[in-house]
Structures are given as C-alpha cells and as structure tokens.
Structure 1
Amino acid sequence: MSDEDDITRPRWQRLLLNRFVLVPLTLALVAGGWNLYTLRHDDGIVTGQVVDDAGAPVADATVTLWTFNFTTFAETAKVMSRRDGRFSFVGNPSHNIQVSAEKPGTGRSARVPIRLYFRSQNVGLPEPLRLRQGG
C-alpha cells in the first residue's frame, strides 16, 4: 500500500483499521468470549454413567469424587448411580479431579483422572465407568 492510498482512505478507516486497534480489539473479544463461557459453565457439575463388564448399566453403585489438595487426592463426595447407571455431582470445587465407582458383588472401576480448564467447570465423562471384578 502506498502513501497515496493511505491518504485517500477516509480518516475513520485509517484510525480503526490498523494493528494498534485491531490487535487489542481482537484480544478483548477473545477474553470476553472466554469469560462469558466460564460464567455459563461453572456450576461444578460432573456427570457420567456406570456400567458392568458387559456394558449394561449398573444401578446403586457408589460413585466417589476425589479432588486434588496440594499433594494427594482426597475423597470429597459420594453419590449412588440411578437405575440407568447415570450419576451426577453438583458443586465440584476443583479443576483437578478423579472419579471411581464400586458395587459389592459387581466390581470396582479404576479411578478416572479429569483435568478441567477452570475450577468448577461442568463436565460429562466421555466414557462410562466400567466395573470389573477384582479391579
């Protein structure tokens, strides 16, 4: 772009369409969008499902939420899975958590680590907690 092109453009275009305005404006829009997203998704809801080794839903399994506290994971809450095997925790205070499930006679799942982008982020487990005997 030559100096002549710059002079012929309207003044408002010269002021607004330069890197000193566009870059900060873009950064402000991205930060504002992220803040709106976190505002709408920070209830601390953790959802998932418990299934047996064959993939059938398991009712009344004890699901435990573990949260990281400086050096170790501590048990924070427990819920029972519903008839369809689904469970949910409300009010998760952390961004580094684990969940596990257990039902006597059916088995136990491994602890599943979940790393969240921000504290109290809502999350649904992508895979069910699978109970295995001796697991």
Structure 2
Amino acid sequence: MKKQVYTTLRQIALLFEALTVRQLLFNRFVILVVFALALSGSAQVYVSMNDSGTIEGQVVDQNGEPVEGAQVTVQELGIRNQYDGDTTTTDENGYYKFTGQTQLLEFRVRVTTEDAQTVERHHLYFQGQNTDINVVLDTEG
C-alpha cells in the first residue's frame, strides 16, 4: 500500500514538474512576444516624435567660429530636375533651421557666404525625418 501511494505521489510530482517546465517555456515565449511588441511600439513613438521634417544645423569656419549671415538653401532634387527650394540666413551663432520639409527625399543644402564662397551637401533621408547638417567653410580660400 505504501509503495502504491509513493508511486502515485511520485507520478503527481512528475506531472507538476512537467507542467512547470511547460509553463516556463510558455512564459519565455510570452515575454519574448511582449518585448518585441514593446520594442516596436517604442520605435514607432520615436519616429512619430521625430518626423516633422526639420532640417537644421550650424555653419562654422575652419576655426569652429560661427558664420553669421550665410545664406542657406535647401533644394529638392528630382530624377531629372532641381526644384526651387527654401532659403534662410544663419543667425549670430551660425544656426539655421527649416521646418515642414516632410516631402523631401533627396535634397541639397547649399551655403553661400558674403564673400561668395559656396559649399554644397547632398543628402538622402527618410521622408519627414529630422536631420542635423553642420557645414564647415574653408576660410583659407
């Protein structure tokens, strides 16, 4: 009788042990799925917070000094055409900013200074992505 009870208890213990392992494996799967969903959700939140189409940066000379009054133009580039762009000037700290550039995919940033020096940067980016473009001018000539 004792041996039969012992065997029955042993089988019940093995059954619970098997259920526990199954539950652990299931819980790991659930944790993995929840983690993947949370990661995807946080990536979407990040993108939605950074998709206003802002292009900004600073124009400096070779010594790192800001260039005030430089003309900065952002121009959309097409397959065959160059489209009219937006233009602004840098402030006293050399900063410029374009907002609402949500339709640009391929564009050029052109910086022209008072002494007619011109620097161009060609860029590709995701539609609506915010981006920083800093320009260093060659002041040596």
**TM-score, normalised on structure 2?**
0.69
| C-alpha contact (below 8 Å) 1:106/1:131 kept by paired residues | no
Q: Within 5 A, what are the aligned runs for 1:52-67?
A: 52-67=61-76
Where does the alignment leave 5 or more consecutive residues of structure 2 unmatched? 1-13
Counterpart of 1:131, as a letter, is L
Q: Deviations over 1:42-92 (max 9, x none)?
A: 111111111234432211111011224345553421111111111111111
Residues 93-113 of structure 1: CA distance to partner in whole angstroms, max 9, x if unpaired? 22433312002315111x223
Matched with 2:135 is: 129
Q: How does 1:1-135 map to 2 (within 5 A)?
A: 5-7=17-19, 9=20, 13=23, 16-19=26-29, 21-93=30-102, 94-105=104-115, 107-109=117-119, 111-116=120-125, 118-125=126-133, 128-132=134-138
Q: CA deviation at 1:34?
A: 1.3
Q: CA RMSD in A?
A: 3.2
Identity of aligned residues (%): 22
Greater percentage in helix:
2
Report runs of 4+ in structure 1 exceeding 6 Å deviation. Answer: none
TM-score normalised by the chain length of structure 1:
0.71
CA contact (8 A) 1:64 1:75 kept: no
Q: Could you give the per-residue CA deviations for residues 4-61 of structure 1, whole angstroms, max 9, x where no partner exists? A: 6432x298x4584253x44543332222111100111111111111123443221111
* Structure 1 spans left out of the alignment, 5+ residues: none
Larger radius of gyration: 2
Could you tell me which amino acid in structure 1 is paired with residue 130 of structure 2?
N
